[in-house]
Amino acid sequence: MAVHSMKRVTFLRKILALWVLFLLTLPALAAGDSPVAVVSLVWGAVTIKHQNEDYKPARWLEPVFAGDQVKTTGVDSKLLITFFNDNHQEVVGPDSQASALETSMNGTGIRKDAARNPFGAGGVENPFVYTHRLVQSDFQNPPFSYEAEKGLLQARVRPTFPPSLFWQKTDNCVLQVYDYLGNPMWKKQLTGHSYVLTNDQAQAMPKGVNYWWDVTSGTQVLVTKYPFKLLTLPQYKWAEDQRHSFDSKRTANHLERSDWTDYLLVCSQLNYIDEALDLLYKMAEMDPNNPAIYRAMTRVYLAKKCPVHAQKAHDKELELGGLDPVYP
């Protein structure tokens, strides 16, 4: 009995030791799962080291995790990083080295600009195009083929107030809108392929939260159930200011890559899914071999319930050397 008791105690001690070790490693694992910032612009020779990786050249739209290390080499080398907590930017200057914390960089030669989120930290959600963690169920059992998803991708939410909804052409269909808890709110039997919410409908809906919509025609699904955010007035004004600034620079041919990053983050934080996807298509044309673009595109496709397109984008990201694990 004594021998068995000793073995049992030893076994339990080993299990306890392993469990403690697991708990101790949890913070490090969690810190590496979700990015805290993104590379907005790179000048010259800049390298970045993610956890458990070697240094590699930093690229536009590269996600930055807490604990990452960056180096700038040479007098003409700099790095612009945008943090998600309040959209503030930090510049790591020439010949400098720094590490990423949750809300700032720590090191030499750093210039921190003022916060650009007027709602304060936490007033705007983290951008899903970076912070969504991929899991196997994201890609399993897709309900539609790649070709069928092309039709679904024609759907658009125009984030005016009240919002305008568009989808692929059909003669008769049913539009269903769901509340922020996912429960059906109301439906409309329609002809055509668009609908603008009435002012009464929009005013009756609580602001600053997500709603869902879908469209069917008999057994055919024209729009999968995907979300849009009905903004508060301050959020809407901020979004319109950001859009006007981006469009004005584009008209004047003054856009820098950091401007594309900024507006992509705004679209993601406010759940402007369709605008985010349009931006990423343009970014892919500008920088076709950048895996970070396909990383973001994967998540936008998933948000729009097009997992086959998401899988192709993820495969492209990995083909280009990106590291983006899919968890169980």
Alpha-carbon gap, residue 137 to 283, rounded angstroms? 28
- The answer to whether the CB of 166 falls within 8 A of the CB of 158 is yes
Tokens of 72: 């700038």
Angle at 307 between CA 126 and CA 326, to 5 degrees: 65
At residue 125, the pLDDT reads 86
Closest CA to 32 of 129, 136, 127, 102: 102
Cis peptide before 63 (omega within 30 of 0): no
Profile the chain (328 residues) by mean pLDDT over runs of 10 residues. Answer: 47 41 34 83 97 93 96 96 95 97 94 90 83 96 96 95 93 95 95 94 93 96 96 93 97 97 96 97 98 98 98 98 94
The enclosing H or E element of 300 equals helix 291-303
Alpha-carbon gap, residue 205 to 163, rounded angstroms? 12
Instruction: Tell how many helices (H) and how many strands (E) occur in the chain.
Output: 9, 15
- The answer to whether the CB of 224 falls within 8 A of the CB of 305 is yes
Q: Read off the pTM.
A: 0.88
- The answer to whether the CB of 296 falls within 8 A of the CB of 317 is no
Alpha-carbon gap, residue 279 to 179, rounded angstroms? 28
Architecture of domain 125-328: Alpha Horseshoe (1.25)
Instruction: Tell me where in the chain the CATH 1.25.40.10 domain(s) lie.
Output: 125-328
Strand 164-166 and strand 194-196: pairing?
antiparallel
- The answer to whether the CB of 167 falls within 8 A of the CB of 193 is yes
178 CB-near residues (< 8 Å, 6+ apart): 184, 185, 211, 212, 213, 225
Alpha-carbon gap, residue 212 to 301, rounded angstroms? 16
At residue 25, the pLDDT reads 33
At residue 122, the pLDDT reads 66
104 CB-near residues (< 8 Å, 6+ apart): 83, 90, 112
Bin 25: left if φ > 0, else alpha if -120 < ψ < 50, else beta.
Answer: alpha
